[in-house]
Structure 1
Amino acid sequence: MDKTPPPAFHSSQAPEPVGLYPHARRVGNLLFLSGVGPRERGVTEIPGVTLDAAGNISSYDIEAQCHSVFKNVRHILEEAGSAWENLVDVTVFLTNMKADFQTYNRLYAQYFQDCQPCRTTVEVNALPTPIAIELKCIATI
């Protein structure tokens, strides 16, 4: 039995992972993306996030974070040989469903108007970095 793991992919445009994991891993004709947030590669500031002196979120703009997350997902997909239109499943993690779902849902509808993958949206207590949204995606290649 071959114990070689499926090919891992690291994007040159998406934000650096915050742990030991690839941006994506290909298995057959499927591409599994690790969680993708709104951070930008090589930059410490997070789009749409204002931090206080202690590094806690003092305010955030969910719209700016959504645009940045969708851009990062697109970068990973395209660099790995897939495309936005090939998304088949998206899991969305929000840290404040009550405050952010309406804006997120409106923007999601704009980005996914022609491509409608399965979707699950859940609220989580926190994410690994001071962000309000993260996407976990599966696409075909």
Structure 2
Amino acid sequence: MTSQERQTIATTEAPGAIGPYSQAVQIGNMLITSGQLGMDTKGVFPVSVEEQTQRSLLNVKAILESAGFTMNDVIKTTVFLQDMNDFQKVNEVYATFFTEPYPARSAVQVAKLPKGGLVEIEVIAVKA
């Protein structure tokens, strides 16, 4: 793939898109994922925010791996929380998926997430 070619990434190892968007798009050595809710491939959400965070990051990991990337290639994450009071709980799970040097990150509280989710995470990854 040349640096200008755009490729849609999709895997059955993560929930499919629930609208007119792709699980991820790759351009050259950069991959950008859509936000991944904390649900499994059958659309089932675990109850706790910790379990949803883990599921969200497992979905991100599956998408990355389907395109030949790893969690170590992630340079930026955005975490959307339904309740900022869950930040520490999310942070504890998040820390188990990344090692130093950690990716840059933003975390924001939103009024509502699709399908009643508690957390949604999107990433940008670059292969050096």
- CA pair 44-83 structure 1, distance change in 2 beyond 3 A: closer
Is this contact kept in 1: 2:60–2:122, CA < 8 A?
no
Q: Provide the rounded CA distance (Å) in 1 between the counterparts of 2:7 and 2:59.
A: 20
For residues 59-138 of structure 1, what are the structure 2 equivalents within 5 Å? 61-98=48-85, 100-138=86-124
Q: Provide the rounded CA distance (Å) in 1 between the counterparts of 2:68 and 2:96.
A: 23
User: Hey, what does 1:19 align to over in structure 2?
Assistant: 19
User: Hey, what does 1:51 align to over in structure 2?
Assistant: none
Q: What TM-score does the superposition give when structure 2 sets the normalisation length? A: 0.90
Q: Provide the rounded CA distance (Å) in 2 between the counterparts of 1:44 and 1:110.
A: 24
Unaligned runs of 5+ in 2: none
User: Hey, what does 1:52 align to over in structure 2?
Assistant: none
Cα distance, 1:114 vs. partner?
3.6
User: Hey, what does 2:46 align to over in structure 1?
Assistant: 47
Cα distance, 1:5 vs. partner?
7.0
In the TM superposition, structure 1's runs of 4+ consecutive aligned residues that sit over 2 Å from their partners are none
- For the pair shown, which has the larger CA radius of gyration, 1 or 2? 1
Over the aligned positions, Cα root-mean-square deviation in angstroms equals: 1.6
Is this contact kept in 2: 1:6–1:27, CA < 8 A?
yes
Is this contact kept in 2: 1:87–1:115, CA < 8 A?
no
Cα distance, 1:115 vs. partner?
4.9
Is this contact kept in 1: 2:15–2:43, CA < 8 A?
no
- CA pair 118-21 structure 1, distance change in 2 beyond 3 A: same
Is this contact kept in 1: 2:79–2:107, CA < 8 A?
yes
* Secondary structure of the corresponding residue to residue 94 of structure 2: helix
Unaligned runs of 5+ in 1: 49-60
For residues 28-47 of structure 1, what are the structure 2 equivalents within 5 Å? 28-41=28-41, 43-47=42-46
Q: Which residue identity is paired with 1:21?
A: Y
